[in-house]
A and B are shown apart, each in its own frame.
Chain A
């Protein structure tokens, strides 16, 4: 059982009865609230069959699919770039050269403090003004404003995460590396960063989920991702003189939740594969006992696991 079970005793007969009462009451309360919401929305005609029939329409389906694709596109590019930038900034902040350190620190602090929404908007205006020199055309401006915005913000956050991870690597690691005659850059990129990534993977993943969700801020500059498509359709389709806001929000929300859950599951899976391949000293996984089976799988085909994702 989970550690929380220590908070209460194994229930005796009386408690069991009482818990059962609570169970029933709690379920009824949750169910009641749910029924109330559904009934109220039903009153407003949000659950009328015609209202949901719109999802049988080819145009609506194409719009949703295109929205999902646009969202994934911005996320994919933004996620990769932000991880790259994160490594660079983390290394920069730990650099021995003062100007580099100051620059990295200033960059991180500035973009972490400003809301992403504002960063995206400002980048968009700047990109528009300098479109000719930057060579953007058509939808490119919106796309890159969104992607670069995602990159600088999430890159700064990832940098801080990585820095914490690098600082947590035992000192002996870098000392041993220096003793072997490795250069600073080598120590950083081949010894410290991979271990930091491994130990910080859960945090990095949850930041990636944030990145995925943040693509929805592209609506402010009319980047036509999923949320934009949903809002537009919710406003433009009328069924029985009502707008299908509720169906659109439910469907759109379900897609977002599914994408985020799949992303975390995927990342967790990669992490576990990485754990099994013991390529270095495992920092965070110390709690996990090394079983004989794990030790046998040293030759796991995934080299470095999560660390390999970095570059």
Chain B
């Protein structure tokens, strides 16, 4: 109990840190994921290959390795001096984008064939078909898997703690190094994560219901 009350500012910083990293990389992952999913169903072979390669590479690489790339390879190529927060967002966002891409792609596949055929028959181009007909309908089926992807992202953000970002894992380690009982720290940290993950799943359930009504 005391651990929490005595270190409220630390816990708050950690909580906010986890929230902001999660939010930033979720946004990046969403944009990239939809883009790459578009690539994967596009009529242009190199784009398809690029999408496939992207997903295969990022899905099968441990997140920590991507963090190493972000922190020790990216600065050699571009923009030395980027903040650790940006680099962590990059690593998490790229990693998560491959999962978002697969979710979106399977969502696209669930849209009845007739929809795309109808769109084509009235002369829509690929981009129009995708943007106006397919993606809006795919959204409904994509929402539930996206929810679990973002919950996983929340937890993955803990890896950023080892790379100069203040977040909940960092705080738990700091306090346990100072000799506080690990059991209590663990419970409080777990509670904080539970709050975030419940918030995410609640938000998505709300979204799901809204989309249901819109039908």
Contact residues of A with B, CB < 8 Å? 3-4, 6-9, 11, 19, 22-23, 26-27, 30, 36-37, 40-41, 44, 46, 109-110, 113-118, 121-122, 125-126, 129, 209, 213-214, 216-217, 219-220, 227, 231, 234, 245-246, 249, 252-253, 256-257, 260-261
Tell whether, in the assembled complex, residue B117 and residue A231 are in contact, meaning their CB atoms are under 8 Å apart: no
| Nearest chain A residue, comparing its CB with the CB of B115 | A6
Tell whether, in the assembled complex, residue A117 and residue B169 are in contact, meaning their CB atoms are under 8 Å apart: yes
Given A19-B44, A117-B159, verify A6-B62 contact (CB < 8 Å): no
In whole angstroms, how far apart are the Cα atoms of A126 and B76 in the complex? 40
Tell whether, in the assembled complex, residue B69 and residue A249 are in contact, meaning their CB atoms are under 8 Å apart: yes
For the complex, would chain A's binding face be called helix, strand, loop or mixed by DSSP majority? helix
Tell whether, in the assembled complex, residue A11 and residue B43 are in contact, meaning their CB atoms are under 8 Å apart: yes
| CB-contacts of B14-53 with A (<8 A) | 40-41, 43-47, 50
Q: Is B3 an interface residue (CB 8 A)?
A: no
| Nearest chain A residue, comparing its CB with the CB of B130 | A7
Residue in contact with A115 in the complex, picked from B108, B173, B193, CB distance below 8 Å: B193
Tell whether, in the assembled complex, residue A8 and residue B158 are in contact, meaning their CB atoms are under 8 Å apart: no
> Can you report 11 residue pairs joining A to B where beta carbons are below 8 Å apart?
A4-B109, A7-B126, A8-B129, A26-B44, A40-B76, A117-B159, A213-B61, A219-B64, A220-B162, A227-B62, A256-B61
Distance in Å: Cβ of A78 to nearest Cβ of chain B: 14
| CB-contacts of B190-214 with A (<8 A) | 190, 193-194, 197
For the complex, would chain B's binding face be called helix, strand, loop or mixed by DSSP majority? helix
Q: Is B2 an interface residue (CB 8 A)?
A: no
Distance in Å: Cβ of A202 to nearest Cβ of chain B: 11
Distance in Å: Cβ of B21 to nearest Cβ of chain A: 12
Tell whether, in the assembled complex, residue A115 and residue B158 are in contact, meaning their CB atoms are under 8 Å apart: yes
Interface size counted on chain B using CB atoms at 8 A: 57
A110: B residues at CB distance < 8 A: 190, 194
Q: What are the interface flags for B106-146 relative to A under an 8 Å C-beta threshold, 1 for contact and 0 otherwise?
A: 00110001001100100001100110001000000000000
Tell whether, in the assembled complex, residue A22 and residue B73 are in contact, meaning their CB atoms are under 8 Å apart: no
| CB-contacts of B162-182 with A (<8 A) | 162, 168-169, 172-173, 176, 182
Residue in contact with B50 in the complex, picked from A26, A216, A252, CB distance below 8 Å: A26
| Nearest chain A residue, comparing its CB with the CB of B195 | A113
Given A3-B109, A19-B43, A115-B158, verify A256-B65 contact (CB < 8 Å): yes
| Nearest chain B residue, comparing its CB with the CB of A214 | B62
In whole angstroms, how far apart are the Cα atoms of A120 and B111 in the complex? 41
Tell whether, in the assembled complex, residue A257 and residue B68 are in contact, meaning their CB atoms are under 8 Å apart: no
A227: B residues at CB distance < 8 A: 62, 64-65
| Nearest chain A residue, comparing its CB with the CB of B129 | A7
Identify the 10 closest CB pairs spanning chains A and B, nearest first.
A115-B158, A260-B60, A216-B62, A115-B155, A4-B41, A213-B62, A26-B46, A257-B60, A8-B126, A117-B158
Tell whether, in the assembled complex, residue A125 and residue B77 are in contact, meaning their CB atoms are under 8 Å apart: no
Tell whether, in the assembled complex, residue A209 and residue B172 are in contact, meaning their CB atoms are under 8 Å apart: no
Distance in Å: Cβ of B26 to nearest Cβ of chain A: 16
Contact residues of B with A, CB < 8 Å? 40-41, 43-47, 50, 56-57, 59-65, 68-69, 72-73, 76-78, 108-109, 113, 116-117, 120, 125-126, 129-130, 134, 154-159, 161-162, 168-169, 172-173, 176, 182-183, 185-186, 189-190, 193-194, 197
Tell whether, in the assembled complex, residue B44 and residue A216 are in contact, meaning their CB atoms are under 8 Å apart: no
Given A213-B61, A256-B61, A256-B65, verify A116-B155 contact (CB < 8 Å): yes
Interface centre among A3, A110, A115, A118 (most CB of B within 10 A): A115
Residue in contact with A40 in the complex, picked from B64, B77, B116, B157, CB distance below 8 Å: B77
Distance in Å: Cβ of A1 to nearest Cβ of chain B: 11
Q: 5 additional contacts, CB 8 Å, given A8-B126, A117-B159, A118-B158?
A: A7-B116, A8-B129, A109-B194, A115-B169, A217-B159
In whole angstroms, how far apart are the Cα atoms of A268 and B83 in the complex? 41
